[in-house]
C-alpha cells in the first residue's frame, strides 16, 4: 500500500514493488541522496519492544546504498533505533562513508502542531559544509481548527460506551500507578495548539494519539480524517492517498511516514551542502590560479571585458 501511494503521488518515479531483500542490482538506479527509514515498531516506545529481529535487512540496505553511488544518506527513525545492532551493522559496512552527523528534531519545535520526535543521521563520503537545521522562533502557534476539513467527512461519536470512555474510566484507574494512564492530548479541541504523534494504530483508537472533541458538546468526539492528519503532518496540499485504499491503511501509511517540516528543512541543508561541495571542487585552488580576468587598459584605467 505505501508503494501504491508513492506511485500515485510520484507517477514518473522509478519503483520496485517488493522488499529490499529482493532488489536486484540491475534495478538500482544512481542517486545523489538515499533516504533510509526502516520500520520503527520494534524500537519505538509504542511498539512491541522486539528490537534485534530485523537487522538482517541491514545488509540489503547497504548494498542498495552502495550500488546507487549516492553521495549522502539520510536515516530517520525513533532514537532507540540508533542503539540497535541493525544500525551498528550499517555503519560498519558503509565504509566509504566517513562522516556521520546525528541530530534530533521535533516538528512541534519547528512551528508544527504535531509532536513527533525523531532522530536523524546524515552520512557523507566526504566532509561537506552540512548544517543541522536551526529551530525557528515560533511566534504564533497554529490551532487544530486550521487543519480541519471544510466539510467534515468523519462522523461524531457518543463518548458513553466508547473506547474514549474506557480510556477516561476503567483504563485510567487500572494503569494509574504507571503514570501513563491518561494523556492530555488524547482529546483535543479546535482551539488546541498541540496534538500527539499520529501512530499507525490510529484507526484502532489509541490513547497515545489525538482525537477531536466537539467544541460545544463534550460527549461527542471523532477521529481526524486522513486529509486532516496529512495536513497536521505538514504534507504538501497535492499529496493524496488513493481513494481505493482502506481507511485503516491510510492512517497506517501516514503513521509510518515522515513529517514534512523537518524533512523539508533537512533536504534544503543537504542540497546546499552537496551543491556547495561541487562548487568548491569546480573552483579549486589550482583552477583559480589558472583563471585570468579579461581586463583591458584604457587611459590608465583597467576595465572588465564582457
- pLDDT for the residue numbered 69: 94
Closest to 129 measured CA to CA, from 262, 289, 263, 281: 281
Q: What are the E-state strand segments in 71-131? A: 72-77, 99-105, 118-124
236 grid coordinates: 504538501
Query: Does the pLDDT value for residue 304 go beyond 90?
Result: no
CA angle (113 as vertex; 110, 117 as ends), nearest 5 = 60
Closest to 91 measured CA to CA, from 134, 114, 61: 61
Closest to 241 measured CA to CA, from 63, 5, 82: 5
Q: What is the average pLDDT across 279-283? A: 83
- pLDDT for the residue numbered 223: 95
Q: How far, in Å, are 11, 14, 251 from residue 30 at the CA level?
A: 18, 11, 32
Most confident of 8-12, 67-71, 285-289: 67-71
Query: Does the pLDDT value for residue 135 go beyond 60?
Result: yes
Query: Does the pLDDT value for residue 133 go beyond 90?
Result: yes
pLDDT tens profile 16-75: 888 888 888 888 989 999 999 887 655 555 455 555 556 778 999 999 999 999 999 999
Sign of the torsion formed by the C-alpha atoms of 92, 97, 98 and 104:
negative
Question: Model confidence at 15, in pLDDT bands (50, 70, 90)?
Answer: confident
183 grid coordinates: 494523556
Please check whether residue 114 is in contact with residue 192, taking contact to mean a CB–CB distance below 8 angstroms: no
- pLDDT for the residue numbered 200: 86
pLDDT tens profile 196-239: 988 888 888 888 899 999 999 989 999 999 999 999 999 999 99
DSSP H or E run through 36? strand 33-36
Higher pLDDT, 145 or 304: 145
- pLDDT for the residue numbered 3: 84
Helices (H), 118-221: 163-168, 170-174
Q: How far, in Å, are 86, 111, 153, 244 from residue 114 at the CA level?
A: 28, 9, 21, 27
**What percentage of the chain has pLDDT greater than the value 90?**
56
Amino acid at each position: 500500500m505505501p508503494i501504491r501511494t508513492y506511485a500515485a503521488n510520484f507517477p514518473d518515479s522509478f519503483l520496485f514493488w517488493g522488499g529490499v531483500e529482493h532488489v536486484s542490482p540491475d534495478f538500482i538506479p544512481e542517486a545523489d541522496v538515499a533516504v533510509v527509514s526502516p520500520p520503527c515498531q520494534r524500537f519505538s516506545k509504542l511498539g512491541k519492544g522486539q528490537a534485534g529481529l530485523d537487522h538482517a535487512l541491514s545488509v540489503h540496505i547497504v548494498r542498495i546504498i552502495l550500488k546507487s553511488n549516492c553521495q549522502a544518506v539520510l536515516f530517520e527513525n525513533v532514537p532507540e533505533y540508533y542503539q540497535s545492532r541493525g544500525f551498528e551493522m550499517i555503519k560498519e559496512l558503509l565504509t566509504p562513508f566517513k562522516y556521520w552527523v546525528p541530530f534530533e528534531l521535533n516538528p512541534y519545535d519547528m512551528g508544527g502542531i504535531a509532536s513527533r520526535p525523531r532522530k536523524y543521521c546524515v552520512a557523507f563520503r566526504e566532509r561537506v559544509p552540512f548544517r543541522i537545521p536551526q529551530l525557528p522562533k515560533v511566534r504564533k502557534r497554529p490551532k487544530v481548527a486550521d487543519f480541519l476539513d471544510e466539510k467534515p467527512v468523519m462522523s461524531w461519536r457518543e463518548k458513553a460506551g466508547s473506547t474514549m470512555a474506557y480510556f477516561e474510566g476503567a483504563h485510567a484507574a487500572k494503569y494509574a500507578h504507571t503514570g501513563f494512564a491518561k494523556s492530555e492530548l488524547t482529546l483535543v479541541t479546535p482551539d488546541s495548539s498541540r496534538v500527539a504523534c499520529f501512530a499507525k494504530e490510529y484507526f484502532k483508537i489509541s490513547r497515545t494519539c489525538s482525537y477531536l472533541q466537539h467544541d460545544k458538546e463534550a460527549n461527542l468526539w471523532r477521529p481526524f480524517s486522513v486529509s486532516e492528519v496529512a495536513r497536521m503532518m505538514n504534507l504538501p496540499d497535492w499529496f493524496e492517498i488513493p481513494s481505493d485504499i482502506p481507511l485503516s491503511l491510510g492512517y497506517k501509511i501516514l503513521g509510518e511516514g515522515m513529517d514534512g517540516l523537518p524533512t523539508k528543512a533537512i533536504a534544503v541543508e543537504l542540497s546546499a551542502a552537496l551543491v556547495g561541495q561541487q562548487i568548491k571542487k569546480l573552483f579549486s585552488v589550482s583552477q583559480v590560479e589558472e583563471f585570468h580576468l579579461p581586463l583591458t587598459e584604457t587611459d590608465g584605467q583597467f576595465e572588465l571585458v564582457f
